[in-house]
Amino acid sequence: MTQIDFLQDMHGKTKRDYVARVTQFDKAECATIAKRFGAEYWDGPRQYGYGGYRYDGRWRPLADKLAAHYGIRPGERLLDVGCGKGFLLYELAQSVPGLEVFGLDISEYGIANAKPEVKPHLAVGTAKALPFPTDSFDVVISLGTLHNLPPEDSVAAFAEIERVGRSERKYVMVESFRNERERANLMYWQLTCESLLSPATWAWMMGQAGYHGDHGFIYFE
């Protein structure tokens, strides 16, 4: 397993008032609503999630990085576990014309409101039991998803990603922390995180799952 941080620079550009997250709103109520992964989470007020998640092209640079790093080629099959509205999948299909893209997400609302160009290739489902045969995909990615599962389900999801990918071209990114400040910021900011773990603990869980792909983290600095 190799740690590769494709996303921290992008993640760090968003300004966050961590304290306001817990003083201006009822954090427990907001988290309860966010965990439905419905309209409020994607397109409702910011305290419930994204505050309006619309296509704006921001994912194209990441798609290009992934395509170049993993040597993704036309005709290959790529799965995004936790694809949301499919924006990254759309960009990957643009970056590598001829790539077959597939996505899975727990959110019925996210899939129903996905980018039209990739929507036919998306399905509602859970990461801990992927509805695909073994060795179905050349590349498997999962960005910002597995920390939303409790630890036992996260281990199952890593094992499932390993199972459906026919090569070691796999990449999983989760939220984590390197110090007490980042731990506190993550606790203040998160709404849906069920596995709030250090990088060392995440690495242990990947080992328990027999996961051999790459991984990365985002930190709340």
pTM: 0.96
What's the average model confidence in pLDDT over 23-40? Answer: 97
- Given a contact cutoff of 8 angstroms between Cβ atoms, the answer to whether 150 and 205 are in contact is no
Q: Establish how many alpha carbons lie within 13 A of residue 80's alpha carbon, considering only the half-sphere containing its beta carbon.
A: 27
Task: Indicate whether 44 belongs to any domain.
Answer: no
**What is the structure's pLDDT at 25?**
94
Domain hosting 130: range is: 8-26+57-219
Confidence check: pLDDT of 1 > 80: no
- Determine contact, residues 197/168, Cβ cutoff 8 Å: no
CATH number of the domain enclosing 67: 3.40.50.150
Domain assignment of residue 36, yes or no: no
The answer to whether position 37 is within a domain reads no
pLDDT per residue as tens digits for the range 93-103: 999 999 999 99
**202 assigned to some structural domain:** yes
Q: Give pLDDT tens digits for 131-159.
A: 999 999 999 999 999 999 999 999 999 99
Burial of residue 124, with CB atoms counted within 10 A of its CB: 0-12 exposed, 13-18 middle, 19 or more buried: middle
Residue 42 lies in a domain: no
- For residue 10, pLDDT beyond 90: no
How far apart CA 56 and CA 51 sit, in angstroms, is 14
Assign 9 a pLDDT band (cuts: 50, 70, 90): confident
* Domain count across the chain: 1
Question: Does 97 reside within a domain?
Answer: yes
CA-based end-to-end distance of the chain? 25
Q: Which residues contact 218 (CB under 8 A, 6 or more apart)?
A: 5, 7, 8, 11, 144, 173, 174, 175, 176
Give mean pLDDT, residues 151-171. 97
Q: Is residue 1 part of a domain?
A: no
Q: Report yes or no on 49 lying in a domain.
A: no
